[in-house]
Chains A and B, each alone.
Chain A
Amino acid sequence: MITAARQYLVFLQRSARIAFVGDWRYYTWMAVLTVITLLGLNAYAKQLVHGLVVTGMSDEVSWGVYIANFTFLVGVAAAAVMMVIPVYIYDNEELHDLVIFGELLAVAAIIMCLLFVTVDLGRPDRFWHLIPGIGQMNFPKSMLSWDVIVLNGYLLLNVHICGYLLYCRYQNRKPTKWFYIPFVFGAIIWAVSIHTVTAFLYVGLGGRPFWNASIVGPRFLASAFTAGPAIIILALQIIRSVTQYRITDKALLTLRSIVQVSMIINVFLLVCEIFKEFYSGTTHGASAKYLFFGLHGHYALVPWIWTAITFNLIAMVILVLPVSRSLRWLDVACVLSIVGIWIEKGMGLVIPGFIPTPLGAVVDYIPSLNETLVCLGIWAFGLLCYTLFLRMSVPILQGRLSQANEGLPEINDIAPTNAALSRPAAH
């Protein structure tokens, strides 16, 4: 027992140590992310002192880019399972080892989600009021309490799966099936639940006709399963180029078909939504009118949403055509869908729900500089976490960091070619 604990501590210690080792590109990347994170922290400190008045939010538009980013990132986190399903249900070998990268992305995304919710709170010092037992959790009535449960549960599930599989690889033994397969299937269901619950957060509000529509849930899932795998496609190519980790084109093309189908469904659901909002011509379509065409001389969101729609349509066309079998075109389509869906799920979903207000006032919302810095800080911190996770897990998966080489000199390179380049400079 004590030996096992000691071994685990050594594993953690060595993983932590390797996170501080890399070539100049790694150090530059981490330094840039750290600086942006600190800028965000500084902006958040100002917000703590002066209150949410430093944001662009108001009593009219009482949620802004914080909740918009939160919503988008829940989707990214949920989409990690789109790699798990082919592997564990259809036994796709190409993706098998890559699942870990997807799940680590989910962990980073959930961390960002939790941070975005926290910075949105007026009284973060009172977060303990949410903890069952010592606080008052309004469960099951409040969808927000559901969200707290599913997000934290999903975080734990993924941390367990990644941590366990990596540790087994480190020890060079086969993972015990019953100790992770049930969790993998749990995570699949859970992933759908985090996004559904987040959608219900909006859908449950009868006073906001733009959100109070059953299509919001399905659209959440469709857009998540587009943007999430698109991010993973890009991340895998970066991993492949900066490490020696072997990732086949076939694996990337498997993910392409997921993005392809999801994007088609997403655009179809968008058409359904637009038809419903505009054809009947009821006053309940006011938010959609504001979003797509502007209302009473206010047009703040119009350029955003048309950018999103244009990006999504171009991405869909590229994805459907055979050209997207070439990675260059696939990357273009991925970037377009990520940006398109970020706008659509963020600015395009959260903000128009508030406009016009239930009393008919039209007040625009523009994020403030301070608010934007906080967002950038959280994104940078999330990327920092993801980079660290990858920095630790790639050598383990490659077998370069393992129990067998404990006590031997540590490896300290990301890619040997670059280490070779940077070595003379170190002496």
Chain B
Amino acid sequence: MSSPEPTLHSDQPATGSTDRRSFLRSTAAFAGLSALAASLAPLRELKDFSSSEEFLQKYYKELSPEEMKKVLLRITDEVEHQYGIRPHVRDLKPMDGVEFVYALNLTRCIGCRKCVHACVAENNQSRSPEIQYIRVLKMPHGSMDVEKGNHLYDDKEVPDKGFFYMPVQCQQCKNPPCVKVCPVNATWQEKDGITVIDYDWCIGCRYCEAACPYWARRFNFTKPEIPADRLNPEMAYLGNRPRKQGVMEKCHFCIQRTRVGKYPACLEVCPVGARKFGNILDPESEISYILRTKRVFIQLKEEMGTSPRFFYYFDK
């Protein structure tokens, strides 16, 4: 063992060496702290990341009606502050005796993508980068293998001969894999069958996105941008209120419309009437009639055991 140096112990008398060492040490400490500060400099650009109210906000299902009121007010103020429009934000609850089901007529769909854009406009999706909940696949006749589908078709006219079109969006599964995997219960299935997300609770781990067999979930990789004049002010907490950077979103059957008795935006805009929607618990509804009378209807990837509430059917 080498002879120990007497420089580092406080009992030792101060020597020239200690002075120089302590000077070097404080210089090093100063340089280190400056480097740390410099490396954290980008954080100065961090704006409205999370207000303390939002940071401390409780889980959706634990909010009392009064607390919910405050939350809705905070969201209203935030939206007004950001877009200059005072929105009408509501916390719409599922209706009793209602279970929503969607059916899409593959014989009729012409692949015009009007549903895609109506959805973006209705649900206040980010325009830059653009987030879309509906993906239309251009499929060659005779195949249901999605790998043969073309996602990025750019034809001047649709429909193209020899192809059919298959729009895919959240299938609102009865057995949703996304809900099972969420580590913080930020997404769940409501009584009316809609799987919703609490955008204020999601931690952005994207496990649900990996779990979804339908590629229905979208992540806000950056701060969503919506032009103020395009903002839809009719909003719901679990629906189309503007999202923040770093959280998930997806189709919620236009909760802000369907829970007050309207049709989803994608259905209303469809020029060929390929989209049908309604309450499966009501035997008189159109959707019940379709599922009762059509000879062939399918659930996408039925073998996944997810049991979608979204059906595809054929006319002939």
Contacts and interface: CB of A to CB of B under 8 A. Distances in A.
Contacts of A136: 59, 184-186, 201
A369 to B, nearest CB: 15
What's the dominant secondary structure at chain B's contact region?
loop
B180 A360 contact: no
Contact of B46 (A21, A49, A117, A148): A49
Given A51-B245, A416-B1, A359 B183 contact: no
Interface stretch (B189-197, B220-228, B263-271): B220-228
Contact of B210 (A63, A121, A286, A412): A63
Contacts of B244: 123
A160 B154 CA distance: 61
A90 interface: no
Contacts of A321: none
Given A42-B39, A409-B9, A359 B137 contact: yes
Interface in B27-77: 32, 35-36, 38-43, 45-46, 49-50, 55, 59
Given A51-B220, A357-B215, A127 B180 contact: no
A204 interface: yes
Nearest to B59: A136
Contact of B183 (A42, A51, A62, A130): A130
A48 B168 CA distance: 32
A411 B4 contact: yes
A63 B147 contact: no
B183 A137 contact: yes
A140 B254 CA distance: 31
B293 interface: no
B66 to A, nearest CB: 20
Interface residues of A, number: 74
A286 B304 CA distance: 17
Contacts of B39: 38-39, 41-42, 45
B104 interface: no
Contact of A41 (B11, B40, B182, B217): B40
B213 interface: yes
B203 interface: yes
A96 B48 CA distance: 54
A102 B150 CA distance: 51
Interface stretch (A215-223, A233-241, A250-258, A419-427): A419-427
Nearest to A126: B203
B145 interface: yes
A123 B9 contact: no
A416 B213 CA distance: 61
A251 B245 CA distance: 51
Contacts of A59: 209, 215, 217-219, 221
Contacts of A52: 204, 219, 221-222, 246
Given A206-B305, A208-B210, A144 B129 contact: no
A412 B7 CA distance: 9
A121 B204 contact: yes
A137 B184 CA distance: 5
Interface residues of B, number: 75
Interface string A124-165: 111101100001111001111100100000000000000000
Contact of A144 (B55, B207, B219, B301): B207
A42 B223 contact: no
B222 A51 contact: yes
Interface in A39-68: 39, 41-42, 45-46, 48-53, 55, 57-60, 62-63
A182 interface: no
Which of A59, A62, A121, A356 has the most chain B CB atoms closer than 10 A to its own CB?
A62
Contact of B146 (A55, A63, A201, A358): A358
A145 to B, nearest CB: 5
Contacts of B181: 141-144, 204-205
A207 B177 contact: yes
A423 B8 CA distance: 14
B201 A122 contact: no
B140 to A, nearest CB: 12
A120 interface: yes
Contacts of B46: 48-49
B247 A122 contact: yes
Given A45-B43, A59-B209, A125-B55, 18 more contacts: A34-B35, A42-B41, A51-B246, A52-B246, A59-B219, A63-B210, A122-B205, A122-B246, A122-B247, A142-B182, A144-B207, A207-B301, A360-B147, A407-B11, A408-B4, A411-B4, A412-B7, A420-B2
14 contacts: A42-B40, A42-B41, A48-B49, A51-B246, A52-B204, A53-B129, A57-B221, A122-B204, A129-B184, A135-B59, A142-B183, A410-B4, A412-B4, A423-B5
Interface of A: 17, 21, 34-35, 38-39, 41-42, 45-46, 48-53, 55, 57-60, 62-63, 117, 120-127, 129-130, 135-138, 141-145, 148, 201, 204-208, 283, 286, 353-354, 356-361, 400, 407-413, 416, 419-420, 423, 426-427
